[in-house]
Structure formats: structure tokens, C-alpha cells
Structure 1
Amino acid sequence: MGRPVHFEILGDDPAKLAEFYSNVLDWEFQSWSGSEEYQQEYWLATTGPEEQVGINGAIMKRHFPQPVINTTLVDSLDETLAKVTASGGKLVFGPNEIPYVGTHAYCEDPQGNLFGVIEEPKT
């Protein structure tokens, strides 16, 4: 069974996208220059502590159309959606309750990338 182990968000200005996702989802970023053959602007993303389930990823320069939408678990969907709009993004769909899964919404970052956010069901 294949399991996602890394994601990449594509944008025209990776540094500004790193700032956006840091503001909205509290991710931490570190610039990485890559290898000699693979030189480009690339920001490694730490999305949470190692002991927490999840994956880390990166933001890089856009080279092709976006083929994937990543969804991130958040503590408060309302607070996260407020951060999205305050940081220059927008809500594009939802929020919608998915029975037994949580409340989900799709957002767009300031450079046109779609991403999902989901809050676990309240017990």
C-alpha cells in the first residue's frame, strides 16, 4: 500500500507562499538549495512534531500545473479560515460536514494553489 511521504506546493514566489502557510497553518520553513544538479528556490516545510502523525513537504517554484490537492488537519476550522483570508487567501468551497470524518473546506492560497483543511468531528 502506497502512503504519501512528502508533498510539494508549487508557486511563482515560494518565499511568499512559505510566509502564507506559516501564518495560516503554523508550519515552519527552512530554505534548501538542493544539490549541484538541482538548483532552485526550495523551502522545506515542517508541519508538526515528529511524534505526531503526518508528513512534511516543501514549497518550490511552479514548473507545471497543480495535479494534487493536499488536505491538512487543523484544531479549529473557523480560526484557520479566518487566517486564510487575513493572509491573502480565500475560501473556495465549504465548509461542509462529512459524517464521521469532520468538517472540511477547500481554500486557495494567494498564488492560486488549492488546499483542503479539515477539523475532526466534535465528540
Structure 2
Amino acid sequence: MNRVVHFEIPAVKADRAVKFYETAFGWKIEKWAGPMDYWNITTGSDREPGINGAIMSVDGAIKQVVNTIGVEDLGKAAEKVVSTGGKRVSPDQTVPGIGYFAYFTDTEGNPFGLMQNAPNAK
């Protein structure tokens, strides 16, 4: 079974969103060192139930909170999503040191991501 493993909150002004979530919920938020404006969120201890996420700068099609689902094989999962009525909204992307990722929408137009864990991804 594939589980939600991450969430993304879009922001027009990321610094404003960072301040809000840090202050309102006590989340730890740090700018990612990667090639895009992205801030990793730690929502609590790994011993507690829940998931971590990120704040991302709004850059186009995705303007809603996005949940990311962990999958074993991005290609196979993408095929299944499309064959059951979902739509791909981004090409596959490599996240160095993390894995492979793509955005989709479900049959109702809700966005979500698929992430294949691959720590050696470059």
C-alpha cells in the first residue's frame, strides 16, 4: 500500500508563510540547499504520528496544498494513475539525493505528487 509521505504548501511570499507556520505551530522550517525556492518543514518528532513537508514558491499550475505519495516505481505508478483517469501535470524530476518525483491530478482535479525513493539519484 502506498502512503502519503510529504506535503507541500504553496506560497506567493515564502518568508511570510515561513513566519506564519513557525509562529502558529512551532514548526522548524529551513531553506533547502537545492536549486529551487523550497523550505523543508519538520512538524514534530519522528517518534510522533504525522509527516513532514515543505513550503514552495508558487510557480504555475500547482497553487494548492499537495500531498506526496511514496511509490516503489514512479514509472509504473504514473502509468496506473493515467490509466485510471488521472492526469500528469509535470515531467519526471530528479531530486538529487532523494529520488524521482512528478505531479499529477486525480479524477476530480486535485493535485498530488508521486515520489520514488532513490538516495543515489543525481
- Give me the TM-score of the superposition, normalised by structure 1: 0.48
Length-normalised TM-score, structure 2 = 0.49
